[in-house]
Structure 1
Amino acid sequence: MKNRKSWLLLCFVASLLYVLGSCQKGDLNLGSEVIPDANLSVVMVDTFTVKLSTVAVTDTAITSADSMIYAGRWRDANTGVQEFTAFASPTFPSNTLNTRASSIVLDSTVLILPLSYSYGDSVQTFKLSAHVMTTPLASGTLYYNTNTSARYATQPLAEKSFYPGKGGTPTVRIRKDSLGAILFDRLKTRTIRDDETLQQVLPGLAFKGSSAGNVIVGFGVNTGRSLIRLYFHDNSSTTVTSEKIDIDFSYKHYTRYGFDYKGTPLANLKNRSDAVNSSLTGNVAYITQGGPLRTRVEFPYFDNVLMSRDAILGVNRAELIFDPVRTNFRDNALPPNTLYLYKTNAVNDILTSQPIETITNSLTPVSATYTTESSIYETKDHYTFNVTNYFNQLMSGKTQLAPIILTPGVGAQQYLNFSRTSLGNRNYSSDRVRLVLYYTNRNR
Structure 2
Amino acid sequence: MQQNSKTLFRSLCAVGSLLLAALITSCSEPGAIGNDLPVTTDKVGITYIDTFTVRTSTVQLDSIASSTSSTLMVGRYVDPRLGIVEARGFTQVGLNNSATPSATTSYDSLVLTLRTDTYRYGDTTRTQHLLVQRLQENFVDKTYYTLDALRYDETPLGQVGLTQAKEYTFRARPGARTLRIRLTDDLGRELYQLARAGALTSPDDLQARFKGLVLSPGATDDAALLRYLISDASSSLNLYYHEAAASDPLVYTFPLTTGSRHFYRLRANRSATLLAPLTKPYQALSSSSTAAETYIQAGLGLYTRVDIPYINNLKELGGTLSVISAELTMEGVQGTESRYLAPPTTIALTLTDPSNRRGAIVTQLDGNAVTGVYNPLDSSTGSYPRISPTTGLEVVNYKFQLTTYLQAVLNRSIQNTGLLLYPTTTAGVLRGVVPDDVTRVVLGAKNNRTNPLQFRVYYARVQ
Question: Among the aligned pairs, what percent are the same residue?
Answer: 24
Structure with bigger RCO (C-alpha 8 Å, 6+ apart)? 1
Q: Report SS of the residue matched to 2:268.
A: strand
Given that 2:58 and 2:304 are in contact with CA atoms closer than 8 Å, whether structure 1 keeps it comes out as yes
Aligned twin of 1:291? 300
| CA separation of 1:370 and 1:379: change in aligned 2, threshold 3 A | closer
Aligned twin of 1:11? none
| CA separation of 1:377 and 1:189: change in aligned 2, threshold 3 A | closer
Aligned twin of 2:29? none
Given that 1:424 and 1:431 are in contact with CA atoms closer than 8 Å, whether structure 2 keeps it comes out as yes
Q: How does 1:47-86 map to 2 (within 5 A)?
A: 47-59=51-63, 61-86=64-89
Q: CA deviation at 1:193?
A: 1.2
Is it true that 1:108 corresponds to 2:97 in the alignment? no
**Match for 1:92: what amino acid?**
L
Aligned twin of 1:316? 324
Partners of 2:296 and 2:137 lie apart in 1 by: 34
Is it true that 1:151 corresponds to 2:171 in the alignment? no
Q: Report SS of the residue matched to 2:276.
A: helix
Aligned twin of 1:134? 136
Q: How does 1:381-396 map to 2 (within 5 A)?
A: 381-396=396-411
Partners of 1:412 and 1:345 lie apart in 2 by: 17
Q: How does 1:267-346 map to 2 (within 5 A)?
A: 267-308=276-317, 310-325=318-333, 327=335, 331-346=339-354
Aligned twin of 1:433? 453
| Structure 2: gaps of 5 or more residues | 1-33, 159-166, 388-395
Deviations 1:366-395 (A, max 9, x none): 223223344579633422111112222233
Is it true that 1:174 corresponds to 2:183 in the alignment? yes
Aligned twin of 1:250? 257
Deviations 1:33-75 (A, max 9, x none): xxx44xx42101122222110011123x432222221111232
State which drifts further: 149-158 or 69-78: 69-78
- How many residue pairs match? The answer is 401
Among residues 440, 443, 446, which one is paired with 1:423 in the alignment?
A: 443
Q: Report SS of the residue matched to 2:415.
A: coil
| CA separation of 1:258 and 1:378: change in aligned 2, threshold 3 A | closer
Q: How does 1:200-219 map to 2 (within 5 A)?
A: 200-210=208-218, 212-219=221-228
Q: How large is the Cα RMSD of the aligned pairs? A: 2.6
Deviations 1:120-174 (A, max 9, x none): 1111111110111112323x4222223x221111222222111112614222222
Q: Report SS of the residue matched to 1:113.
A: strand
Length-normalised TM-score, structure 2? 0.79
Is it true that 1:403 corresponds to 2:418 in the alignment? yes
Aligned twin of 1:227? 236
Higher helix proportion, which one? 1
Partners of 2:322 and 2:77 lie apart in 1 by: 47
Among residues 371, 376, 383, which one is paired with 2:375 in the alignment?
A: 371
Q: Report SS of the residue matched to 1:426.
A: coil
Partners of 1:124 and 1:107 lie apart in 2 by: 33
State which drifts further: 274-283 or 289-298: 274-283
| CA separation of 1:400 and 1:243: change in aligned 2, threshold 3 A | closer
Given that 2:57 and 2:284 are in contact with CA atoms closer than 8 Å, whether structure 1 keeps it comes out as yes
Among residues 193, 202, 205, which one is paired with 1:185 in the alignment?
A: 193
Partners of 2:57 and 2:215 lie apart in 1 by: 34
| CA separation of 1:57 and 1:175: change in aligned 2, threshold 3 A | closer
Given that 1:78 and 1:281 are in contact with CA atoms closer than 8 Å, whether structure 2 keeps it comes out as no
Partners of 1:213 and 1:85 lie apart in 2 by: 14
Aligned twin of 1:17? none
Given that 2:299 and 2:434 are in contact with CA atoms closer than 8 Å, whether structure 1 keeps it comes out as no
Aligned twin of 1:4? none
Q: Report SS of the residue matched to 1:254.
A: strand
Partners of 1:396 and 1:168 lie apart in 2 by: 54
Among residues 98, 106, 115, which one is paired with 1:95 in the alignment?
A: 98
| CA separation of 1:127 and 1:329: change in aligned 2, threshold 3 A | closer
Aligned twin of 2:19? none
Given that 1:268 and 1:274 are in contact with CA atoms closer than 8 Å, whether structure 2 keeps it comes out as no
Q: CA deviation at 1:219?
A: 1.6
**Match for 1:359: what amino acid?**
L
Given that 2:238 and 2:253 are in contact with CA atoms closer than 8 Å, whether structure 1 keeps it comes out as yes
| CA separation of 1:222 and 1:273: change in aligned 2, threshold 3 A | closer
Q: CA deviation at 1:244?
A: 1.6
Given that 1:323 and 1:431 are in contact with CA atoms closer than 8 Å, whether structure 2 keeps it comes out as yes
Partners of 1:230 and 1:207 lie apart in 2 by: 18
Q: CA deviation at 1:28?
A: 4.2
Q: CA deviation at 1:313?
A: 1.9
Q: Report SS of the residue matched to 2:156.
A: coil
| CA separation of 1:272 and 1:167: change in aligned 2, threshold 3 A | closer
Aligned twin of 1:118? 120
Q: CA deviation at 1:335?
A: 2.1
| CA separation of 1:399 and 1:247: change in aligned 2, threshold 3 A | closer
Given that 1:342 and 1:365 are in contact with CA atoms closer than 8 Å, whether structure 2 keeps it comes out as no
Aligned twin of 1:196? 204
Partners of 1:213 and 1:389 lie apart in 2 by: 44
**Match for 2:126: what amino acid?**
Q
Partners of 1:55 and 1:391 lie apart in 2 by: 22
Partners of 1:74 and 1:290 lie apart in 2 by: 15
Partners of 2:315 and 2:57 lie apart in 1 by: 23
Aligned twin of 2:22? none
Q: CA deviation at 1:114?
A: 2.3
Length-normalised TM-score, structure 1? 0.82
